[in-house]
Chains A and B, each alone.
Chain A
Amino acid sequence: MTAMLSIEGLKVIYHGFSALKGVSFDVEPGESFGLVGESGSGKTTILRAIAGLAPIASGTIAVNGKRLGARRDKAFYRRVQMVFQDPYGSLHPRQTVDRLLQEPLAIHGLGQGEQRIQQALDEVGLGSGFRFRYSHQLSGGQRQRVAIARALILEPTILLLDEPTSALDASVQAEVLNLLEEIRGRRKLTYLMVSHDLAIITHMCERLMVMQSGEAVENLDVSQLAAHQVTRSYTRNLLKASAGFDRRTRLRP
């Protein structure tokens, strides 16, 4: 079986700063793969490199066995879509939801816009009542649903999720996570999900990679993480930190 997404020795350098120092991993079709680590560890850079938004210095990315070139073609963006971290920044403030959803359809020359928009809104649980609203008229959770609808409207096979719930509060987070799981089950999607919250990753993914300063620390199955079977002290610290505040522990290295 060819991997849905295969990354080999990926390096990204921003103005002399090495953001990714040779990262490799595979994501199988239909799998949900998590990337965890502290801020600045390169998680988001991986997603941006795949989407063609980061300068790749060396290494290869292959989607379904096909190696990507320096430029992404239109067909790539129909297969791979991204949901960004901040739903307050990722939606155009002067476009209605309808207009936001029409944009990808127009770019890719897809017909039956009416029907597709209706379907996409239904799928994310918003309904037609939201269609002609502006994003400032929506709550954070509703905005993130619009962002998910915009990604889904092109019927992609891979979704790149960059901390899709970190800007939302606990109860809304649960709703969006459930929505993402349900869509993945229904559409047989492959997810590559970034989060700094280990609990979210263990909930959503089957496998994960722990990252620190642009390098992979270790690859784990979620069951190993849940059983605290980790080999590296960095991962252990992350697990400890996820358990909450403890006066006795000092986490400083």
Chain B
Amino acid sequence: MTSLLEVDDLRVTFPTRTGVIEAVRGVSFALGAPPQAVVSAKKLAFDGIDLLTAPATERRALRGKRIAMILQDAKYSLDPVMTIGRQIVETLRTHEKNVNKAEATERAIAMLEAVQIRDPKRVFDLHPHEVSGGMGQRAMIAMMLIAGPELMIADEPTSALDVTVQLEVLSILDKLVSERGMGLIFISHDLRLVSSFCDRVIVMYAGKVMEQLKASELVSAQHPYTQGLLDCMPKIGADRHPLPVLSRKPEWAA
């Protein structure tokens, strides 16, 4: 059986004025049922489609339709001169050509409602600067979900939100994973959230995988980097002054 997403020995480098930055240095993992990683040499495949060799048009059809991505900062990621509704309708009609305008509007409003926006008809006609951070983030989630993706990549989707809104957004994502079987890659530096929300965790440092483990076992992580990250967060009721800080070892980046 194949996985939904397979990543094997992924490397990303950026040439800069001061030399080549190796942002990702050989990362491998797989996502989707079954959970065992399928190892094959240097591969980046989505549902069997090799993303490294797929033609641009094929990749373009995948993006937004089958693979969607929620970016960290909704305020900057949404188009500032388009209403929220128009942006959602645009995504939908790009991927489903046979949807007419009236139906698209109706589905966009329904989707805004599904992400717990209280007055979806009003928000549909608003521009991104007219909504709060939490609402902007939910509008973006609605836009990403409208085409019914099989894989969602969420890059710090809740970092800009406060705790109560954070949990609302997470429960929306959680519902989609459990009800529609959507795959979710959740990128975050908040280990408290990750350990309570995700199933599996990959801990990365300097472009490399430090450790891969079950989220429920995160508290008993083996790698000193993971342990340090967990330890340096203030906890309610703990009296630790000063807080332990993470001392980065050069060998982790080796």
Contacts and interface: CB of A to CB of B under 8 A. Distances in A.
A146 interface: no
Contact of A241 (B163, B240, B244): B163
Interface string B207-226: 00000000000000000000
Interface in B161-217: 161-168, 170-171, 174, 189-193, 195-197
16 contacts: A38-B163, A38-B164, A39-B132, A169-B189, A171-B229, A174-B244, A177-B234, A178-B243, A196-B162, A199-B236, A226-B237, A227-B237, A238-B163, A242-B163, A244-B195, A245-B196
B232 A174 contact: yes
Q: How large is the interface on A (under 10, 10 to 19, 20 to 34, 35 or more residues)?
A: 35 or more
Q: How large is the interface on B (under 10, 10 to 19, 20 to 34, 35 or more residues)?
A: 35 or more
A91 interface: no
Contacts, number: 99
A197 interface: yes
A203 B196 contact: no
A38 to B, nearest CB: 5
Nearest to B159: A166
Of listed A202, A204, A250, residue having the most chain B CB within 10 A:
A202
Interface string B61-101: 00000000000000000000000000000000000000000
Contact of A171 (B196, B228, B234): B228
Contacts of A251: 164, 167-168
A217 B241 CA distance: 28
B233 A170 contact: yes
A218 interface: no
A170 B170 contact: no
A170 B234 CA distance: 9
A196 B158 CA distance: 13
Nearest to B162: A196
Interface string A165-184: 00001110111011001100
Nearest to B241: A181
Contact of B189 (A170, A199, A204): A170
Interface string A34-47: 00001110000000
A237 to B, nearest CB: 7
Contact of A38 (B162, B197, B232, B242): B162
A174 B236 contact: no
Interface string A201-222: 0111000000000000000000
* Residue with the greatest number of chain B CB neighbours at <10 A, chosen from A171, A197, A225, A227: A171
A242 B236 contact: yes
B178 to A, nearest CB: 8
B116 A196 contact: no
A196 B228 CA distance: 23
B158 to A, nearest CB: 10
A170 B191 contact: yes
B133 interface: yes
9 interchain residue pairs of minimum CB distance: A244-B196, A203-B234, A174-B232, A171-B246, A226-B237, A178-B242, A241-B163, A196-B162, A245-B196
